[in-house]
Chain A
């Protein structure tokens, strides 16, 4: 009883906050953390921004008249264009940080034990956000989004067995007003699931964080809070440049116009963050093949902890780092080939880049890491 006297009323009843404050003052962090260590926090912040702006958009969104309701937001909702800009540009910046985070995880071998679970959570978050973002794009009812959804719903109808049943249930049949109404629900539910994966990442990354050795460890407050603040300010600057001066970055221009049954786009280029995987799946004519190549592309990413044959002591740099940079360039090339639209040259390049993608994970990674293992 006498011990608790000094504690405040709230600390006695809700000790979580005082414990959090005590933890943030405890010197347990490495004193040389780079700015990019703030990426998970930035991703969390962007997801919160997307949730809040999405809440406002959901209030005015009407799945029966998707494009008209977005025009309504632009014309008649106070600062509606700004909220929609937060949501659209927030998605672009979120995928920018996710791709950077994935690249950093590969280049620094963050997936190695005991970081496997944190890596799985990261890849799962990436896949989940891709699906959520695609759903969000279809909700706009734009010219490309409308046909993207129509094609997906029709491809779902071609799938047989259990996958076909799940896909048909997901879309609720061919694309129509009822489909958009249920995709709104999935868009929101999957976005909330992303927070669960973020929590899993944070819980799993904590034991995997490098223990501060040698140099004197530092506390989160005030050292890392200052670093996070700087990282947030720089991200906000990049965000503002895109939001105010390139609001339609990576967006298909067809999406600026309402989708129509009478206007069929010859090619449907997805938003920029979907282009690499869409280019791979575009190599296949059957829905099953298109789905399996995307699943395989995510699976090899997922399997990195096993594909890396180096021992527990990892060396940074070397040929492995070189091939990680090459992989990033390969995915950039895949994106450019996918964005350029179908032609003989882009088809050949897409096959080459896809081949290199799988070669990197299935052959080069085991080989190089085994050779460089000590």
Chain B
């Protein structure tokens, strides 16, 4: 209910401040889940930092331009700074209108497994958000009696348990500007929330417009039915 009113009053769009993250890990949940959920902008910004630091070297985000990062609640100047720090393939710095840098990772480098584009990965994997989180936190030593294929790593969430990607997150890979402790579960959840946004960037706008449209149309329907009954009263 609290989230309903927050969305209705557009308070959910307040720019991420210095507040630390709420505990969304126990039990695991994402603010964007549910009918009235909206993105946690602070989590998205932290998740982008994790992506840029730990994922971007191999995984592309080809659907995005750098200007799209304003959707995370960043100012145009901040986004321009982020873009300028990226060196594109030709050596020039990226601009707001550049596509995200594509690392062009080759399958041959990773034992035949091509690092997938992450733009839409949340939709592309059965289980969605929970699967991505469980996958990122699911690296454990192989149990006794399991012989790993060459170049494979043991992962509890991956179908077949042998995945080509080595554990990408170990905890304390980044330093969060808002002071949130960069534990492994926290990093995994933040980058998962960021990937939820890349798969459905218009969710906030859709639900914000939706609540207003539905409220308006409820009243319009009531008025239209009352008008019809009043008009027809004299005929019968």
Q: In the bound complex, do residue A241 and residue B214 qualify as a contact, i.e. CB atoms below 8 Å apart? A: yes
Q: In the bound complex, do residue A223 and residue B235 qualify as a contact, i.e. CB atoms below 8 Å apart? A: yes
B221 within 8 A of A: yes
Residues of chain A within 8 A (CB-CB) of B120 are 71, 256-258
Whole-angstrom distance between the Cβ of B218 and the nearest chain A Cβ: 6
B202 within 8 A of A: yes
A215 within 8 A of B: yes
Q: In the bound complex, do residue B63 and residue A257 qualify as a contact, i.e. CB atoms below 8 Å apart? A: no
Whole-angstrom distance between the Cβ of B91 and the nearest chain A Cβ: 26
- Chain B residue total in the interface (Cβ 8 A): 33
- Contacts A240-B210, A244-B206: A229 and B227 contacting too (C-beta < 8 A)? yes
B152 within 8 A of A: no
A158 within 8 A of B: no
Q: In the bound complex, do residue A223 and residue B209 qualify as a contact, i.e. CB atoms below 8 Å apart? A: no
The residue in chain A whose Cβ has the minimal distance to the Cβ of B207 is A244
A347, B95: Cα distance in complex, Å: 56
Residues of chain B within 8 A (CB-CB) of A31 are 232, 235-236
Q: In the bound complex, do residue A75 and residue B65 qualify as a contact, i.e. CB atoms below 8 Å apart? A: yes
Interface string of A342-372 (1 = CB under 8 A from B): 0000000000000000000000000000000
The residue in chain B whose Cβ has the minimal distance to the Cβ of A242 is B210
Main SS of chain B's interface residues?
A: helix
Pick the contact of A85: B201, B206, B232 (CB < 8 A): B206
A76, B202: Cα distance in complex, Å: 11
Interface string of A103-129 (1 = CB under 8 A from B): 000000000000000000000000000
Pick the contact of A230: B35, B214, B225 (CB < 8 A): B225
Residues of chain A within 8 A (CB-CB) of B205 are 81
Q: Which of B115-172 contact A (CB under 8 A)?
A: 119-120, 123-124
The residue in chain B whose Cβ has the minimal distance to the Cβ of A33 is B232
Number of CB contacts from chain A to chain B under 8 A? 89
- Contacts A230-B224, A244-B206: A71 and B214 contacting too (C-beta < 8 A)? no
Whole-angstrom distance between the Cβ of A199 and the nearest chain B Cβ: 27
Chain A interface size, under 10 / 10 to 19 / 20 to 34 / 35 or more: 20 to 34
Residues of chain A within 8 A (CB-CB) of B201 are 74-75
A216 within 8 A of B: yes
Q: In the bound complex, do residue B206 and residue A81 qualify as a contact, i.e. CB atoms below 8 Å apart? A: yes
Residues of chain B within 8 A (CB-CB) of A62 are none
A240, B211: Cα distance in complex, Å: 9
Residues of chain B within 8 A (CB-CB) of A76 are 65
Residues of chain B within 8 A (CB-CB) of A75 are 63-65, 68, 201
A234, B235: Cα distance in complex, Å: 23
- Contacts A226-B227, A233-B224: A240 and B213 contacting too (C-beta < 8 A)? yes
Residues of chain B within 8 A (CB-CB) of A229 are 224, 227-228
A218, B63: Cα distance in complex, Å: 57
Pick the contact of A245: B124, B210, B224, B232 (CB < 8 A): B210
A244, B208: Cα distance in complex, Å: 9
The residue in chain B whose Cβ has the minimal distance to the Cβ of A232 is B224
Q: Which of A213-256 contact B (CB under 8 A)?
A: 215-216, 218, 222-223, 226-227, 229-230, 232-234, 236-237, 240-241, 243-245, 247, 253, 256
Q: Which of A247-272 contact B (CB under 8 A)?
A: 247, 253, 256-258
Whole-angstrom distance between the Cβ of B19 and the nearest chain A Cβ: 29
Q: In the bound complex, do residue A253 and residue B227 qualify as a contact, i.e. CB atoms below 8 Å apart? A: no
B9 within 8 A of A: no
Q: In the bound complex, do residue A218 and residue B206 qualify as a contact, i.e. CB atoms below 8 Å apart? A: no
- Contacts A31-B236, A240-B217: A245 and B207 contacting too (C-beta < 8 A)? yes
Q: In the bound complex, do residue A256 and residue B217 qualify as a contact, i.e. CB atoms below 8 Å apart? A: no
Residues of chain B within 8 A (CB-CB) of A234 are 221, 224-225
Interface string of A297-310 (1 = CB under 8 A from B): 00000000000000
A229, B217: Cα distance in complex, Å: 12
What 5 additional pairs, Cβ within 8 angstroms, besides A226-B224, A244-B214?
Answer: A71-B63, A226-B228, A233-B224, A256-B120, A256-B124
Enumerate 16 A-B pairs (CB-CB under 8 Å) in ascending A order.
Answer: A31-B235, A74-B202, A75-B63, A82-B202, A218-B235, A223-B231, A226-B228, A226-B231, A233-B220, A233-B225, A234-B225, A237-B214, A244-B211, A244-B214, A247-B206, A257-B123
